[in-house]
Protein backbone atom coordinates (compact mmCIF):
# COMPACT_ATOMS: atom_id res chain seq x y z
CA UNK A 1 0.00 0.00 0.00
CA UNK A 2 2.73 2.50 0.96
CA UNK A 3 4.64 1.62 -2.21
CA UNK A 4 1.56 2.41 -4.32
CA UNK A 5 1.14 5.76 -2.56
CA UNK A 6 4.81 6.56 -3.07
CA UNK A 7 4.63 5.73 -6.79
CA UNK A 8 1.47 7.83 -7.16
CA UNK A 9 3.14 10.72 -5.31
CA UNK A 10 6.16 10.58 -7.63
CA UNK A 11 4.02 10.37 -10.80
CA UNK A 12 2.00 13.41 -9.75
CA UNK A 13 5.14 15.47 -9.02
CA UNK A 14 6.63 14.42 -12.37
CA UNK A 15 3.41 15.49 -14.15
CA UNK A 16 3.36 18.87 -12.41
CA UNK A 17 7.01 19.44 -13.33
CA UNK A 18 5.89 19.62 -16.97
CA UNK A 19 4.17 22.97 -16.35
CA UNK A 20 7.21 24.60 -14.73
CA UNK A 21 8.25 27.91 -16.23
CA UNK A 22 9.92 31.05 -14.90
CA UNK A 23 6.58 32.87 -14.69
CA UNK A 24 4.82 29.95 -13.00
CA UNK A 25 7.75 29.56 -10.60
CA UNK A 26 7.37 33.18 -9.46
CA UNK A 27 3.60 32.88 -9.14
CA UNK A 28 3.75 29.65 -7.14
CA UNK A 29 6.53 30.97 -4.89
CA UNK A 30 4.36 34.03 -4.17
CA UNK A 31 1.28 31.93 -3.44
CA UNK A 32 3.17 29.61 -1.12
CA UNK A 33 4.56 32.62 0.77
CA UNK A 34 1.00 33.67 1.58
CA UNK A 35 0.55 30.39 3.44
CA UNK A 36 3.89 30.46 5.25
CA UNK A 37 3.23 30.67 8.97
CA UNK A 38 -0.46 31.19 8.18
CA UNK A 39 0.45 34.75 7.14
CA UNK A 40 -2.57 35.40 4.92
CA UNK A 41 -4.93 33.80 7.42
CA UNK A 42 -3.66 35.83 10.36
CA UNK A 43 -3.88 38.97 8.24
CA UNK A 44 -7.45 38.06 7.33
CA UNK A 45 -8.45 37.81 10.98
CA UNK A 46 -7.40 41.39 11.82
CA UNK A 47 -10.32 43.14 10.05
CA UNK A 48 -12.63 40.29 11.07
CA UNK A 49 -11.85 40.71 14.77
CA UNK A 50 -12.16 44.49 14.43
CA UNK A 51 -15.70 44.09 13.04
CA UNK A 52 -18.36 43.12 15.57
CA UNK A 53 -20.29 41.06 12.98
CA UNK A 54 -17.21 38.99 12.03
CA UNK A 55 -15.41 38.88 15.41
CA UNK A 56 -16.55 35.37 16.31
CA UNK A 57 -15.39 34.00 12.95
CA UNK A 58 -12.01 35.74 13.28
CA UNK A 59 -11.43 34.42 16.78
CA UNK A 60 -12.51 30.94 15.72
CA UNK A 61 -10.01 31.05 12.84
CA UNK A 62 -7.24 31.81 15.34
CA UNK A 63 -8.32 28.81 17.43
CA UNK A 64 -8.42 26.57 14.35
CA UNK A 65 -4.93 27.65 13.30
CA UNK A 66 -3.61 26.88 16.77
CA UNK A 67 -5.23 23.43 16.90
CA UNK A 68 -4.04 22.60 13.39
CA UNK A 69 -0.48 23.68 14.23
CA UNK A 70 -0.51 21.63 17.42
CA UNK A 71 -1.84 18.48 15.78
CA UNK A 72 -0.03 18.71 12.42
CA UNK A 73 3.28 20.47 13.00
CA UNK A 74 4.00 19.59 16.61
CA UNK A 75 2.57 16.07 16.74
CA UNK A 76 2.09 14.26 13.41
CA UNK A 77 5.12 15.65 11.55
CA UNK A 78 7.43 14.64 14.39
CA UNK A 79 5.94 11.17 14.69
CA UNK A 80 5.98 10.39 10.94
CA UNK A 81 9.25 12.17 10.07
CA UNK A 82 8.77 11.94 6.30
CA UNK A 83 11.56 13.38 4.17
CA UNK A 84 10.49 16.00 1.65
CA UNK A 85 10.72 15.44 -2.11
CA UNK A 86 12.92 18.55 -2.32
CA UNK A 87 15.66 16.56 -0.59
CA UNK A 88 15.91 14.36 -3.68
CA UNK A 89 16.35 17.07 -6.30
CA UNK A 90 19.54 18.99 -7.11
CA UNK A 91 20.08 22.51 -5.75
CA UNK A 92 19.85 24.08 -9.21
CA UNK A 93 16.29 22.73 -9.60
CA UNK A 94 15.13 24.23 -6.30
CA UNK A 95 12.64 27.05 -6.80
CA UNK A 96 12.41 28.09 -3.15
CA UNK A 97 14.64 27.48 -0.17
CA UNK A 98 14.37 23.91 1.11
CA UNK A 99 12.14 23.75 4.18
CA UNK A 100 13.90 22.54 7.32
CA UNK A 101 11.19 20.34 8.77
CA UNK A 102 9.39 17.16 7.83
CA UNK A 103 6.95 16.76 4.96
CA UNK A 104 3.89 14.88 6.25
CA UNK A 105 1.33 16.42 6.48
CA UNK A 106 1.51 19.73 4.65
CA UNK A 107 1.20 22.46 7.26
CA UNK A 108 0.46 25.13 4.65
CA UNK A 109 -2.44 23.05 3.37
CA UNK A 110 -3.70 22.00 6.80
CA UNK A 111 -3.81 25.55 8.14
CA UNK A 112 -5.44 26.81 4.94
CA UNK A 113 -8.20 24.20 4.99
CA UNK A 114 -8.84 24.72 8.69
CA UNK A 115 -9.72 28.30 7.73
CA UNK A 116 -11.92 26.97 4.92
CA UNK A 117 -13.87 24.87 7.45
CA UNK A 118 -14.34 27.77 9.87
CA UNK A 119 -15.44 30.17 7.14
CA UNK A 120 -17.90 27.63 5.76
CA UNK A 121 -19.48 27.50 9.22
CA UNK A 122 -19.45 31.22 10.13
CA UNK A 123 -19.39 33.11 6.83
CA UNK A 124 -21.26 33.28 3.57
CA UNK A 125 -20.03 32.20 0.13
CA UNK A 126 -18.58 35.67 -0.56
CA UNK A 127 -15.90 34.78 2.00
CA UNK A 128 -15.61 31.00 2.03
CA UNK A 129 -15.38 30.56 -1.77
CA UNK A 130 -12.33 32.85 -2.18
CA UNK A 131 -10.82 31.26 0.96
CA UNK A 132 -11.32 27.82 -0.60
CA UNK A 133 -9.76 28.92 -3.89
CA UNK A 134 -6.72 30.41 -2.13
CA UNK A 135 -6.36 27.34 0.12
CA UNK A 136 -6.43 25.11 -2.96
CA UNK A 137 -3.80 27.26 -4.70
CA UNK A 138 -1.59 27.18 -1.60
CA UNK A 139 -1.87 23.38 -1.46
CA UNK A 140 -1.07 23.10 -5.18
CA UNK A 141 1.89 25.45 -4.81
CA UNK A 142 3.44 23.03 -2.32
CA UNK A 143 3.32 20.30 -4.97
CA UNK A 144 4.49 22.59 -7.75
CA UNK A 145 7.48 23.70 -5.68
CA UNK A 146 8.28 20.04 -4.88
CA UNK A 147 8.34 20.57 -1.13
CA UNK A 148 5.46 18.13 -0.55
CA UNK A 149 4.09 14.94 -2.00
CA UNK A 150 0.45 14.71 -3.07
CA UNK A 151 -0.34 12.50 -0.08
CA UNK A 152 1.12 15.19 2.25
CA UNK A 153 -1.20 17.79 0.71
CA UNK A 154 -4.24 15.48 0.65
CA UNK A 155 -3.82 14.55 4.31
CA UNK A 156 -3.09 18.20 5.14
CA UNK A 157 -6.40 19.13 3.52
CA UNK A 158 -8.28 16.47 5.48
CA UNK A 159 -6.50 17.35 8.73
CA UNK A 160 -7.29 21.03 8.23
CA UNK A 161 -10.97 20.35 7.64
CA UNK A 162 -11.17 18.10 10.71
CA UNK A 163 -9.30 20.60 12.90
CA UNK A 164 -11.32 23.51 11.54
CA UNK A 165 -14.70 21.95 12.22
CA UNK A 166 -13.45 20.60 15.57
CA UNK A 167 -12.41 24.13 16.50
CA UNK A 168 -15.94 25.33 15.71
CA UNK A 169 -17.30 22.79 18.19
CA UNK A 170 -14.72 23.71 20.82
CA UNK A 171 -15.32 27.42 20.22
CA UNK A 172 -19.08 27.00 20.62
CA UNK A 173 -18.61 24.99 23.84
CA UNK A 174 -16.28 27.65 25.23
CA UNK A 175 -18.75 30.38 24.28
CA UNK A 176 -21.56 28.55 26.11
CA UNK A 177 -19.38 27.95 29.15
CA UNK A 178 -18.17 31.55 29.33
CA UNK A 179 -21.61 33.09 28.66
The model's pLDDT over 16-60, given as tens digits with 9 standing for 90+, comes to 888 888 998 899 989 999 999 889 999 999 999 999 999 999 999
Spatial CB neighbours of 103, under 8 Å, sequence gap ≥ 6: 77, 82, 83, 84, 85, 147, 148, 149, 152
| CA-closest candidate to residue 165, choices 91, 68, 80, 89 | 68
What is the average pLDDT value for the chain, to the nearest integer?
91
Q: Which range (20-29, 57-66, 91-100, 138-147) has the least confidence?
A: 91-100
End-to-end CA distance of the chain: 49
Secondary structure in 3-state letters for 39-77:
HHHHHHHHHHHHCCCCHHHHHHHHHHHHHHHHHHHHHHH
How confident is the model at residue 133, as a pLDDT?
98
How confident is the model at residue 178, as a pLDDT?
78
DSSP letter assigned to residue 92: G
Domain topology for 54-178:
Vanadium-containing Chloroperoxidase; domain 1 (1.20.144)
The answer to whether 114 and 68 have CB atoms below 8 angstroms apart is yes
The domain ranges of the chain are 54-178
Q: Which range (62-76, 97-111, 141-155) has the least confidence?
A: 97-111
pTM for this predicted structure: 0.91
| CA-closest candidate to residue 146, choices 14, 4, 2, 8 | 14
Q: Which range (12-26, 35-49, 111-125, 138-152) has the least confidence?
A: 12-26
The answer to whether 150 and 47 have CB atoms below 8 angstroms apart is no
Band the pLDDT of 102: cuts 50, 70, 90: confident
Amino acid sequence: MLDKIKRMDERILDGIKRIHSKANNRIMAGITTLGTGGLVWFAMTIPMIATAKMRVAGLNILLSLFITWLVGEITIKRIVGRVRPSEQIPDEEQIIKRPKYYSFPSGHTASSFSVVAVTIYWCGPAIYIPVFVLATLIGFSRLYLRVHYFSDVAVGCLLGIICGFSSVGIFNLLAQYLA
